[in-house]
């Protein structure tokens, strides 16, 4: 199934849209249920790296004098590509290249802790100076190590976007050499971009997760999409065959859903149409057969009458003879049309050499004064009923001679194409109107300007061609040539 088909694109778009909506719903649920914003979710993969970096900075800070903190952080800045700064919780900078922070980051920097109540009953604002933390107690001999606290408890993280920059803060103790109680501060890291810095936002896990989700979505949707569009394509092909007169089409029924119901309906329609068309052609054949006998008797009576009438009445008899002769021709063509359409009464197709059939047609239909020749493909063979192919080519060549024989040579060519052989009869006449190209093979259809009763046309010649070709499993169509002329193409399976 081609991916550029309209239905395939719609299903694929729906699958991706369903995935996006699902992800949005999950993010909304996390935000409402766990009070986690997008920044917390986005920076989650990079938190572990940031906290490990903070551990290294804390360990080295205990051995670094305060005057050398900026140079110490400069090495980490070169390693990570971030600008760093150490801040107390009151907003004072104590090291690093970042010496000031915007107000949105400052509000995140200061901890929200209520103080003792004031005289008016409102709590005191939190202390803006450095807070002291008690140093951990030394383990006694034989005492098990304390349980490690989680990184989120040791180094809470926040992420903010302010002044066109991305700011990450980690709560860490600021250790002074030889001091028992460290200050509680914040390590600030600043970056002009979020996606391109793996410490702030590692895109690899998100890209991998997106690919995994997309893969799961495609695995779930593709079988349904391919099965549905494939079934629709088969129904479309079957409907086209029914429209072309091939009522023996049988659509598969193996899905047990609405598609199967549609296939069964088309199968029933094909059977009913086959019965209607078969009955109509048999009816035409029966009528033509019944008319043959009285027409023959009428012709015989006219022959006797012609010998007995006087000269003044002879013109009336001749006019009546012409009328009966045209009626006889029409009845004969009706018989041919009905017999060609009743495939059950035809013999199965056999291998036929194109050159042999064309030569028989030329010997019978071409008279002096007309140029009709086979230009190529006389060695090719097709699977057809010899009598039906001969009748079809005879009618096509007869029409070409009648309506375009004076305009130039008529050529017949056979060409192999995709396992078939296409026999093309081309003339240099006026062609047919574009709106009539698809209707010239309909029974009793005439082009008013070029075909009439006086020119001998009954409107069944090309209908007989179509019936004869389809009885051999082929198809026929015509097209106008450029700058002028008409081509009638008969396509049959290669022999």
Q: Where are the domains of the chain?
A: 6-111+150-207, 258-341, 346-493
Fold (topology level) of 346-493: Heat Shock Protein 90 (3.30.565)
421 confidence band (pLDDT: 50, 70, 90): very high
Q: Which residue has the tokens 């659509």?
A: 251
Task: Please give the Cα distance from 391 to 375 (Å, whole number).
Answer: 20
Dist CA 385 CA 339 (whole Å): 13
Question: Length of the chain, please?
Answer: 495
In order of 24, 62, 389, 465, 468, the CA distances from 336 in angstroms are 70, 109, 13, 10, 9
H or E segment and range at residue 375: strand 372-376
Phi, psi of 372 (to 5 degrees): -130, 125
Q: Match 């914040």 to its residue by tokens.
A: 186
CATH number of this structure's domain 258-341, picked from the four choices 1.10.287.130, 3.30.160.100, 3.40.50.1100, 3.40.50.1000: 1.10.287.130
**DSSP structure class, residue 117:** B
Give the number of C-alpha atoms closer than 13 A to the C-alpha of residue 450, restricted to the C-beta side. 14
pLDDT higher than 50, residue 126: no
Which pLDDT score, from 0 to 100, does residue 120 have? 45
Q: Report the relative pairing of strands 410-417 and 372-376 from DSSP bridges.
A: parallel
Is there a contact between 404 and 424 (Cβ–Cβ < 8 Å)? no
Q: Which class for 422: exposed (0-12), middle (13-18), buried (19 or more C-beta within 10 A)? A: buried
Phi and psi torsions of 146, nearest 5°: -65, 155
Rounded to whole angstroms, what are the CA distances from 72 to 56, 63, 175?
11, 11, 14
Q: In this predicted structure, what is the pLDDT of residue 422?
A: 93
Alpha carbons 347 and 384: distance in angstroms, whole number: 10
Supply the DSSP string of 321-343, one letter for each residue.
Answer: HHHHHHHHHHHHHHHHHHHHH-G
Q: Where would I find the beta strands (DSSP E) of 38-182?
A: 83-88, 93-96, 131-132, 157-162, 165-174
* pLDDT cut 90: percent of the chain above it: 7
Q: Give the per-residue pLDDT at 233.
A: 86
Question: Which range among 211-215, 218-222, 355-359, 446-450 has the greatest average pLDDT?
Answer: 355-359
What pLDDT, on a 0 to 100 scale, did the predictor assign at position 37?
58
Token representation of residue 167:
């700011």
Provide the pLDDT for residue 457.
61
Exposure b/e, 228-259, CB count within 10 A at least 16 = b? bbebeeebeebbeebeeeebebebeeeeeeeb
Level-2 CATH architecture, domain 6-111+150-207:
2-Layer Sandwich (3.30)
Average pLDDT score over residue span 133-142: 46
pLDDT of residue 424: 92
Q: How confident is the model at residue 149 (pLDDT cuts 50, 70, 90)?
A: very low
Q: pLDDT tens for residues 52-97?
A: 888 888 888 878 888 888 999 999 988 888 899 999 888 888 889 9
- Token pair belonging to 300: 């015989």
């Amino acid at each position: 199934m081609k991916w550029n088909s309209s239905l395939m694109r719609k299903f694929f778009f729906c699958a991706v849209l369903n995935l996006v909506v699902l992800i949005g719903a999950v993010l909304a649920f996390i935000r409402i249920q766990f009070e986690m914003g997008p920044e917390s979710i986005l920076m989650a993969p990079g938190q572990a790296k940031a906290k490990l970096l903070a551990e290294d900075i804390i360990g080295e800070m205990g051995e670094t004098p305060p005057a050398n903190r900026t140079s110490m952080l400069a090495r980490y800045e070169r390693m990570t590509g971030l600008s760093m700064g150490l801040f107390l919780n009151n907003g004072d900078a104590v090291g690093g290249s970042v010496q000031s922070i915007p107000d949105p980051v400052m509000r995140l920097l200061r901890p929200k802790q209520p103080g003792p109540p004031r005289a008016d009953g409102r709590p005191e604002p939190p202390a803006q100076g450095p807070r002291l933390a008690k140093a951990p107690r030394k383990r006694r001999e034989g005492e098990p190590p304390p349980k490690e606290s989680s990184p989120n408890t040791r180094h809470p993280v926040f992420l903010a976007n302010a002044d066109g920059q991305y700011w990450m803060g980690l709560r860490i103790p600021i250790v002074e050499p030889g001091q028992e109680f460290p200050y509680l501060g914040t390590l600030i890291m600043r970056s002009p971009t979020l996606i391109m810095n793996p410490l702030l936002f590692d895109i690899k896990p998100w890209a991998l997760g997106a690919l995994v989700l997309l893969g799961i979505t495609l695995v779930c949707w593709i079988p349904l999409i391919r099965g549905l569009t494939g079934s629709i394509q088969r129904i479309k092909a079957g409907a086209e065959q029914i429209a072309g007169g091939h009522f023996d089409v049988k659509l598969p029924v193996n899905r047990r859903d609405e598609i199967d119901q549609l296939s069964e309906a088309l199968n029933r329609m094909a059977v009913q149409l086959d019965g209607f068309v078969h009955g109509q052609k048999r009816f035409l054949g029966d009528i033509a057969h019944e008319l043959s006998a009285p027409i023959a008797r009428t012709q015989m009576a006219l022959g006797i009458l012609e010998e007995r009438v006087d000269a003044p009445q002879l013109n009336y008899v001749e006019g009546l003879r012409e009328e009966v002769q045209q009626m006889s021709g029409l009845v004969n063509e009706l018989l041919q049309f009905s017999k060609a359409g009743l495939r059950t009464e035809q013999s199965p197709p056999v291998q036929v050499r194109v050159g042999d059939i064309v030569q028989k047609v030329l010997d019978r239909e071409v008279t002096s004064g007309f140029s009709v020749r086979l230009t190529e493909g006389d060695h090719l063979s097709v699977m057809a009923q010899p009598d039906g192919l001969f009748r079809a080519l005879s009618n096509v060549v007869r029409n070409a001679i009648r309506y375009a024989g004076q305009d130039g040579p008529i050529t017949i060519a056979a060409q192999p194409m995709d396992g078939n052989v296409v026999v093309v009869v081309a003339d240099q006449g006026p062609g047919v109107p574009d709106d009539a190209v698809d209707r010239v093979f309909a029974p009793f259809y005439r082009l008013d300007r070029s075909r009439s009763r006086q020119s001998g046309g009954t409107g069944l010649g090309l209908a007989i061609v179509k019936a004869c070709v389809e009885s051999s499993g082929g198809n026929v169509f015509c097209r106008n040539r450029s700058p002028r002329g008409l081509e009638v193409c008969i396509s049959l399976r290669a022999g």
